[in-house]
Amino acid sequence: MTDEIDDQDHNTENEQRRSFLKASVFAGIAGTGSALGLVPTLAHAKSGSPHVPPGDLDDYYGFWSGGHSGEVRVLGIPSARELKRIPVFNYDAAYGWGTTNFSKSLLKGKLSGDTHHVHLSYKNGTYDGKYAFVNDKAQARLARIRLDMFVTDKITDIPNCQGTHGIFPSRNKLDAVYCNSEFRNPLPNDGRDMDDPKKYGALHTCIDAKTMEVRWQVQVDGNMDLCATDYDGKYSMACSYNSEGGTTLAEMMGKDRDWLVVFNLERIEAAIKAGKGHTIGGSQVPVLDGRHGSPYTIYIPIPKSPHGVNVDPTGRYAVCAGKLSPTVSLVDIKKLKDAFNGRIKPRKCVVAEPEVGIGPLHTAFDDRGNAYTSIFIDSVVTKWNIAKAVAGKNPIIQKLDIHYQVGHINASMSETKNADGKWVISLNKFSKDRFLPVGPFRNENEQLIDISGRKMKLVHDTATHPEPHDALIVNRNLIRPKKVWSMNDERFAFEHGLAKRYGIKDLATAANVIRDGTHVYVFMNGIAPSFSLTEFRVKQGDTVTIILTNADKVEDLSHGICVSHHDINFGVSPQEIASATFKVNNKGVFWYYCPWFCHALHLEMRGRMIVG
C-alpha cells in the first residue's frame, strides 16, 4: 500500500464486504430512482444504488461476451438483470439458432465457439447504436449483431489465423474491425514447416464493418493479445507477447520485455491499394509484412507478457498492462507519428509506468482523469490518476478488494469520449464462498462498483454462468431497438425467394403445401392461438421445408414451431419469418406445436404432420 491509500478505509471495507448485500438493500430503499415509465432519467446512476424498482428501467445496457458458451448476453445495469442471450456461435433451441436455414447458412455446420470481446460500432468517438461485434477465439471468426433487433446477422471466417482474440472497431466512424490472431502457426498452414516455429506467424486482420469482408492482413512478430484503436482512425494496436517465438511456456519467458505493436493504417491502406500485398495459401486476402523493420508497424518495448491495451477517453493515452509486471505502461499516442517517422525511438512513446499491483490485466476510465485497473493476483481493483502518473507523482488513489481473481473490468461508457464515471463492473474468475455451492463447476462472480464518489464502493454481487470474458456498459439512450419486425427485412430474403418461386403472394396469410419432387414446402402462419395449417401430409423419405410467419403485429407476442421427434424447434417474434429444412424418415403422425406461450389457448395451438 502507498501512503496515499487510506488504510483505515481499506480495512473497514474488508470488514464490511461480508455484509454489503444488506447495505445495498437499504441503499435501494433510500434511493428509489426515477418514476415509473420510459423517461430515460439515469436516476439510478446518480443514486449509486443497484436497486431498480419493479416496473422501472435500467439506465444502461450491458453487453457481455459469453465465453465458451459462444453467445453474447444482454444485461440491464445497475440491476444486473439478464435481459437476453443472443446466440452467435452456439446452438440455441429457444430461437432455433442452428436449426433455421438462416442461422445454418452463417454457422456452416459449426455449433461451438468462444466469444471473448464484444465491442459496439462508433461514430465520432461514441457508440452509434448500429452493431455489436464479437470474436470467436476457437475457430477464428468475427460476428456482427444488429442492435435494432439484437440478432446476429453476419459471421466471417478469418483466413490464415488461429486463436482470434482481441478485436476493436474504428472509433471515428463505421469503417473497420481489427482482429488479432493470438496463436502463431505456419503460413500457409498446409502441412509444411510444422516443426520449424521460426516460420510461424500471427496476423493482424482488417474486416470491413459494413460488408464484413476481409480487407487485408499484416504479419507480425510474436503472439498478439488484446486490440485497440485510436479516436482519429490513424492507428490500431496490439499487445504482443512471446517475443522469443517459442512454442512452450519455458521458451516464452526468456526476455524481460515484449511489445505494443502499433499499425499505421494510412500506410497500410496505401500499400494495399498499390498492390504490394501477397497472398497465403488459397486465400485471396492481401498480406503485408509488418515484422520488425517494416514501415507499417512500430514495436514499443513494454514489460513482459502484456495483456490488455485500453485507450483513455481523451484519446491521448494507451494503457498497456503487463501480466508479469506490477506496472502499467502509458503510451502517448501523440508521439506515435514521430516514432513512425524515425524522429524518436519507439520506447520514447512510453511516458509513465506506475506500479498498480501484482498481475494487472485491463484498465477502465472515468470522466475525471482516473483509471481503474484489474489486478488478478492481488484480487483488487486499483484506482489511479493518469495526470499524476505522467507527472511522475504517486498516482494511487485506492485499492478495493474483489472476490476473486478479477479478469476483465470495464466502466460505464469507458471506451468512448463520453465516459461518465458512474459504474465499474469487475468480472471475477472465482466465486468460492460467495454463493450457494452448485457442484465442482461453479458460477463466476461479477461485482458492481459505484465510482461516482471519491471512493470506490462495492454494491452488488452477481452470480453468472461461465464464462463472461469482457463486458460493456452503454447508456441506454444510444441503443434504439425495434419492437416488431418488418416483413420486408433483408433477413427474410431466402423465404421471400421461395414464396416468389412457388407463387405465394403473401407470407402473412399463407397456408400452402407445395411438392417439388421429393421436397415439400410448407408455408404457414401463426396468429394466436392457431396455425393457418392444422395438418399437412408428406411421404416417407421426403425433405420438408417449413416456412413460418408470425402474422401477429402485437409486440411481445412470439410464436414458434416444434415438430415432435424431428429435432426442429424455432421461434418467430412479431412479423418475423423463418424457415427450417429437415428429412422425414418414418411413417406416422407427428404433432407440431407452438413452443412460445402466446394465448390462453396456447396448448391448443398445434397440428399434425402425417407421413405416409
* Separation between Cα atoms, residue 94 and residue 151, nearest integer Å: 13
**Burial of residue 188, with CB atoms counted within 10 A of its CB: 0-12 exposed, 13-18 middle, 19 or more buried:** middle
Dihedral angle of Cα 356, 359, 362, 364, to the nearest 10 degrees: -30
3-state secondary structure of 166: strand
Cβ atoms of 258 and 292 closer than 8 Å = no
**Yes or no: is domain 492-611 CATH 2.60.40.420?**
yes
Residue 268 has pLDDT above 80, yes or no: yes
- Give the per-residue pLDDT at 254: 86
Place of cell 461479477: 446
* Count of all residues that appear for the chain in the document: 612
109: left (phi over 0), alpha (psi -120 to 50) or beta: left
- Give the per-residue pLDDT at 60: 98
C-alpha cell at 133: 461485434
Q: For residue 322, give the nearest of 392, 391, 393, 377 by alpha carbon.
A: 377
85: number of CA atoms within 13 Å, CB side?
A: 19
Q: For residue 541, give the nearest of 523, 565, 517 by alpha carbon.
A: 517
Cβ atoms of 167 and 119 closer than 8 Å = yes
User: What percent of the chain lies above the pLDDT cut of 90?
Assistant: 86
Residue 44 has pLDDT above 90, yes or no: no
Query: Which DSSP string do the residues of 49-85 spell out, in sequence order?
Result: -----TT---SEEEEEE-BTT-EEEEEEETTTEEEEE
Cβ atoms of 529 and 602 closer than 8 Å = yes
Looking at every residue in the chain, the average pLDDT score rounds to: 92
Residue range 536-556: mean pLDDT, rounded: 97
Q: For residue 243, give the nearest of 264, 262, 217, 224 by alpha carbon.
A: 224
Angle at CA of residue 508, ends 502 and 510, nearest 5°: 45
Cβ atoms of 234 and 334 closer than 8 Å = no
* Separation between Cα atoms, residue 336 and residue 24, nearest integer Å: 45
Under DSSP, the state recorded for 587 is: -
Least confident of 210-214, 243-247, 399-403: 243-247
* Cβ neighbours of 383 (radius 10 Å): 25
3-state secondary structure of 244: coil
* Separation between Cα atoms, residue 531 and residue 562, nearest integer Å: 12
How does pLDDT run across 406-463, given as a tens digit for each residue? 999 999 999 999 999 999 999 999 998 999 999 999 999 999 999 999 999 999 999 9
How does pLDDT run across 315-358, given as a tens digit for each residue? 999 999 988 899 999 999 999 999 999 999 999 999 999 999 99
User: How is the chain split into domains, by residue range?
Assistant: 492-611
- Give the per-residue pLDDT at 602: 87
Output 90-93 pairs: Cβ under 8 A, ≥24 positions apart.
90/66, 93/569, 93/570
* Cβ neighbours of 291 (radius 10 Å): 16
Q: How would residue 524 be classed by pLDDT, with cut points 50, 70 and 90?
A: very high
Query: Which residue type is seen at 278?
Result: H
* Separation between Cα atoms, residue 134 and residue 158, nearest integer Å: 13
Tell me the CA end-to-end span of the chain in Å, nearest whole number: 78
- Give the per-residue pLDDT at 49: 85
Q: For residue 113, give the nearest of 70, 54, 176, 150 by alpha carbon.
A: 70
Angle at CA of residue 28, ends 26 and 29, nearest 5°: 65
Asked whether the CA dihedral 562, 568, 574, 578 is positive or negative, the reply is: negative
Q: For residue 320, give the nearest of 289, 329, 35 by alpha carbon.
A: 329
Cβ atoms of 301 and 325 closer than 8 Å = no
Residue 88 has pLDDT above 60, yes or no: yes
Residue 232 has pLDDT above 70, yes or no: yes
Read off the pTM: 0.92
Please give the distance of CA 503 from its chain centroid, rounded to a whole number. 41
- Give the per-residue pLDDT at 466: 85
3-state secondary structure of 142: strand
Cβ atoms of 67 and 466 closer than 8 Å = yes
* Separation between Cα atoms, residue 49 and residue 377, nearest integer Å: 29
Query: Which residue type is seen at 594?
Result: C
Place of cell 439506465: 59
Q: For residue 415, give the nearest of 357, 358, 362 by alpha carbon.
A: 362
Q: What are phi and psi of 9, to 5 degrees?
A: -60, -40
Burial 140-178 (b: 16+ CB within 10 A, else e): bbbbbbbbebbbbbbbbebbbbbbbbbbbbbbbebbbbb
User: What percent of the chain lies above the pLDDT cut of 70?
Assistant: 92
C-alpha cell at 351: 511516458
3-state secondary structure of 366: coil
How does pLDDT run across 354-370, given as a tens digit for each residue? 999 999 999 999 999 99
Q: What are phi and psi of 483, to 5 degrees?
A: -110, -15
Cβ atoms of 448 and 380 closer than 8 Å = no
Residue range 189-202: mean pLDDT, rounded: 94
Q: How would residue 256 be classed by pLDDT, with cut points 50, 70 and 90?
A: confident
Cβ atoms of 265 and 205 closer than 8 Å = no
Cβ atoms of 347 and 273 closer than 8 Å = no
* Cβ neighbours of 14 (radius 10 Å): 11
How does pLDDT run across 104-113, given as a tens digit for each residue? 999 999 999 9
Q: Tell how strand 287-289 and strand 214-220 pair up.
A: parallel
How does pLDDT run across 278-295, given as a tens digit for each residue? 999 999 999 999 999 999
C-alpha cell at 12: 473497514
Least confident of 146-155, 192-201, 265-274, 573-582: 192-201
